[in-house]
Amino acid sequence: MGALNYADLKVLVIDDFDSFRLTVSKMLDEFGCGQVVTAVNGRRALKACEEGEFDVVLCDYNLGPGPNGQQVLESLRVNKLMGRQSLFLLVSAESSKSIVLSAYDYEPDAYLTKPITGRGLKQRLDRLLRQRDEMMPVQQSLDAGDIDGAIAMAIGCIPGGSRYTSAFQKLLGELFLETGRIAEAEDLYTKVLEVRPLDWARVGMSKVKSANGEMETANEWLSQIIDGNPFCMQAYDALADNCQQQQNIERVQEVLQAAVEVSPMSIVRQASLAEAASGNHDYKVASKAYSRTVRLGEHSCHDRLEHHLQFSRVTASMLRDDPGANTDVAREGLRVLDQLSKRFELSSEARYTAQLLESQLHACRGDVRRAKDILDEVETNLPDQELSLELQLDRVATYQGLNNEAKAGELLEALLDEYKDDEDSLRSIDLWLEEPVSDFNTKLVARINNEGIGFYQNDQFDKALNSFRRAARLFPNHLGVHLNLVQALVADMKEFGVSDESMDTCLTSLAKVERKIKPGHAQLDRYRQLQHMVRSLGQ
């Protein structure tokens, strides 16, 4: 082993505790580090890194107000303030798994636990620097964008029995997958797995399977890995990716919900969960996940305007669906909207959107006058044309929040006409319609409905309820679906007894129908009948 040249090293130490910065800098001086710089918080650290790149960053996880250690790392890597060959060491007072698990795209090179001793730090740095030196040529090729060159070099390092064979293998596996060299990836993972069933190689192998189109096998592998080690976050992420590819958004949500339960600190995962849940119209889960996303975003480079708008949007949807719910979260939504212009530069479209959402949230809190005033203001300022579909649908939602069904209907008619040949747009308009018009959704609602009716006729009420609940979630304005759900609930309660929860669902669904149904509607008689049955069950 060659001697390490500490004199060439530029090191940054970040901690809000003076004593820690002092002690560690003194240790680093004693090791002979060429330059040691300290920073008292994340913001100053990022600034220091903008002014010049460091070879080693030693950063505490808890940095007081502002970004935490993991967020500093993410900013450094995303904004390319730190190359692949620099080392980032995350320090914490406790070896908490939740800190270790908060890493998403960017993992630190090492986790250190306080208290740090001079001898311990030196050993750790020696090891990391040796590994860095050995992997440097490969990392430099990657930084230069030469993946094939990096692969060739990494392959060359393995047969020599490098001390870092395992690190080279992990990297190689990922690079093979990234560049579509699937057979080589398979070969590599097979060799590793022959020795030991290590999680990283099993996840890699599952990616080989899905790249080869064996989705079900891949999903089975991943589920098994998670069963054995619920902390293997890569397995959840890979499984969620697969389900996304299979367009099974409900499963994506399930997987991400489990992942977030284990590791709540990753903003990227929270945002993916929020997106999946709002796609499923599961507004409760979506609202909570977006709320966390917004909060985690405060000091993160992954903060997005869309998260803030979506939080308000899904929260308003949730409260419109369930008028009895606690409206405290609406206040949180209003606060988020209020802060928008301070955090982001807003286009005029974003400003209108924010105002519409503000109106919706006021309506949810019962402040109809304020809601109307804001809506009026937006309407006066809106240009006549060139409004995006998303903004138009936010208008529809705002009308509906104010129980102005006529204006909502009018605008929807106009949109249906404007987008009549655009299947994707029609799919998003469908959400607001009594009956979907897009090909995809027409077929979907028919399929779920028929499935439910089949179960109902076979007296499998549990399964029938599942189908109708799903249909009502996906098509919240579909009267027939709501009536089917009520009918199945009534049958279920007649058989197994009345429950508060089922009763609530019945009443919510009936209230929804009540608001929409007009005299002469084909389902009016059925509605009256079911309403009567629910009332007599409730007595």
Determine the 3-state secondary structure of 344 from DSSP: coil
Applying CB under 8 A, among 6, 11, 14, 23 the residue interacting with another protein is 23
Phi, psi of 160 (to 5 degrees): -70, 0
Applying CB under 8 A, among 163, 191, 331, 532 the residue interacting with another protein is 163
Nearer to another protein, 166 or 217 (CB): 166
Report in angstroms how near the CB of residue 199 gets to another protein at its nearest.
7
Report in angstroms how near the CB of residue 526 gets to another protein at its nearest.
40
Report in angstroms how near the CB of residue 120 gets to another protein at its nearest.
4
Q: What is the signed CA dihedral for 14, 16, 20, 21, rounded to 10 degrees?
A: 50
Applying CB under 8 A, among 16, 133, 174, 199 the residue interacting with another protein is 199
Q: Considering only CA atoms, which of 367, 336, 299 is closest in space to residue 73?
A: 299
Residue with tokens 């709501």: 482
**Residues 126 to 145 in contact with another protein, rule: CB under 8 A:** 127
**Residues 353 to 412 in contact with another protein, rule: CB under 8 A:** none
Q: Considering only CA atoms, which of 58, 83, 61, 80 is closest in space to residue 70?
A: 61
Residue 515: its H or E element: helix 500-516
Report in angstroms how near the CB of residue 58 gets to another protein at its nearest.
15
Contact between 198 and another protein per CB under 8 A = yes
Binding mask 207-236 for another protein (x = CB under 8 A): ---------------------xxxxx----
Applying CB under 8 A, among 8, 30, 50, 94 the residue interacting with another protein is 94
Ramachandran sector of residue 247 (left: φ over 0; alpha: ψ -120 to 50; beta: rest): left
**Residues 272 to 311 in contact with another protein, rule: CB under 8 A:** none
Positive or negative: CA dihedral 131, 133, 134, 139: positive
Report in angstroms how near the CB of residue 268 gets to another protein at its nearest.
21
Applying CB under 8 A, among 115, 160, 213, 383 the residue interacting with another protein is 115
Nearer to another protein, 131 or 523 (CB): 131
- CB under 8 Å to 57, separation ≥6 — which residues? 11, 12, 14, 45, 49, 72, 76, 82, 86, 87, 88, 89
Please provide the DSSP assignment of 415-464 as one string: HHHHTTT-HHHHHHHHTTSSS--SHHHHHHHHHHHHHHHHHHHTT-HHHH
Contact between 31 and another protein per CB under 8 A = no
Report in angstroms how near the CB of residue 379 gets to another protein at its nearest.
51
3-state secondary structure 353-393: HHHHHHHHHHHHCCCHHHHHHHHHHHHHHCCCCCCCHHHHH
Report in angstroms how near the CB of residue 117 gets to another protein at its nearest.
5
Contact between 20 and another protein per CB under 8 A = yes
Report in angstroms how near the CB of residue 252 gets to another protein at its nearest.
23
Report in angstroms how near the CB of residue 17 gets to another protein at its nearest.
8
Report in angstroms how near the CB of residue 92 gets to another protein at its nearest.
9
Q: How far is CA 4 from CA 7, 32, 131, 161, 467, in A?
A: 9, 10, 11, 21, 65
Report in angstroms how near the CB of residue 77 gets to another protein at its nearest.
23
Binding mask 52-91 for another protein (x = CB under 8 A): ----------------------------------------
Report in angstroms how near the CB of residue 4 gets to another protein at its nearest.
16
Determine the 3-state secondary structure of 55 from DSSP: coil
Applying CB under 8 A, among 66, 83, 118, 137 the residue interacting with another protein is 118
Quick one: 50 exposed, middle or buried, by C-beta within 10 A (0-12, 13-18, 19+)?
exposed
> d(Cα 388, Cα 425) in Å, to the nearest integer?
11
Contact between 2 and another protein per CB under 8 A = no
> d(Cα 19, Cα 17) in Å, to the nearest integer?
6
Q: Considering only CA atoms, which of 227, 238, 255, 254 is closest in space to residue 200?
A: 238
Amino acid identity of residue 496, one-letter, is F
Q: Considering only CA atoms, which of 127, 33, 51, 52 is closest in space to residue 89?
A: 127
DSSP strand pairing (10-14 vs 35-39): parallel
Q: Is the peptide bond before 115 cis (omega within 30 degrees of 0)?
A: yes
**Interface with another protein by CB under 8 A: which range of 115-123, 176-184, 355-363, 374-382?**
115-123
**Interface with another protein by CB under 8 A: which range of 20-28, 274-282, 430-438, 439-447?**
20-28
Instruction: Please count the residues of this chain forming the interface with another protein, following the rule CB under 8 A.
Output: 30
**Interface with another protein by CB under 8 A: which range of 46-54, 117-125, 382-390, 476-484?**
117-125
Rg of the chain on CA atoms, in Å: 28
Nearer to another protein, 225 or 276 (CB): 225
Contact between 263 and another protein per CB under 8 A = no
Nearer to another protein, 123 or 339 (CB): 123
Report in angstroms how near the CB of residue 61 gets to another protein at its nearest.
12
Contact between 19 and another protein per CB under 8 A = yes
Contact between 123 and another protein per CB under 8 A = yes
> d(Cα 53, Cα 48) in Å, to the nearest integer?
8
**Residues 438 to 477 in contact with another protein, rule: CB under 8 A:** none
> d(Cα 507, Cα 339) in Å, to the nearest integer?
37
| Residues in contact with another protein by the rule CB under 8 A | 17, 19-20, 22-23, 26, 93-95, 114-115, 117-120, 122-124, 127, 163, 166, 196, 198-200, 228-232
